[in-house]
A and B are shown apart, each in its own frame.
Chain A
Amino acid sequence: EVQLVESGGGLVQPEGSLRLSCAASGFIFSSYWMTWVRQAPGKGLEWVANVNQGGSERYYVDSVRGRSTISRDNAKNSLYLQMNSLRVEDTAVYYCARVSVATSIVTQYYLDYWGQGTLVTVSS
């Protein structure tokens, strides 16, 4: 059974830092892209960042680029999101998700398994 379990959320002051973790099990972690998606209270979903299987390719939404780093440790089956210079607008539930691929003529990505989320609250 595929499982993704996030941890590391909490209350942090503006300009503070936080490192989120996602422990994966039930699948070959090193074979999949992984992603972070967040959801501010009462708002819609927002993609945050992607990382490829080996960790060499990383993509970010503009609002976190330069302040956050996505990484992974395939030996530990773990995904991370290091967030620095946190802002009030970063307050959200952060989900990690597995990226699967539908390949026909071209490659199309979708998020087929999600963790339960971890809440990050940025407030003074």
Chain B
Amino acid sequence: DIQMTQSPSSLSASVGDRVSITCRTSQNINYFLNWYQQKPGKAPKLLIYSASSLQSGVPSRFSGSGFGTDFTLTINTLQPEDFATYSCQQTYNTPWTFGQGTKVEIK
């Protein structure tokens, strides 16, 4: 199985900050990497697919980069509604696996 390691597991930031979350995979997954946002008690929401493609309707302050084993989700100019948990997912092969999540909290 492909292991997913996100870092950090949590972070504190202020509105207006630039935030970056890293996802590292245990083997090369090309660009088969997605990012999701999840708020408490809610279903996950797709932000980024194929490592860097922005899902329709997602604000442009979200961006993704990376290839192979190292990926980054960046949020430019953090907004109040962005405080949530972010998870990466690989769909290179089954079992599809997720990172453990990064909780972005208000400083």
Contacts and interface: CB of A to CB of B under 8 A. Distances in A.
A114 B91 contact: no
A117 B39 CA distance: 13
Main secondary structure on chain B at its contact with chain A? loop
Contacts of B44: 37, 45, 95, 111, 114
A110 B98 CA distance: 12
Interface residues of B, number: 26
B96 A102 contact: no
A27 interface: no
Interface in A2-60: 35, 37, 44-47, 50, 59-60
5 contacts: A35-B96, A61-B95, A108-B31, A109-B32, A110-B89
Interface of A: 35, 37, 44-47, 50, 59-62, 95, 100, 102, 104, 106, 108-112, 114-117
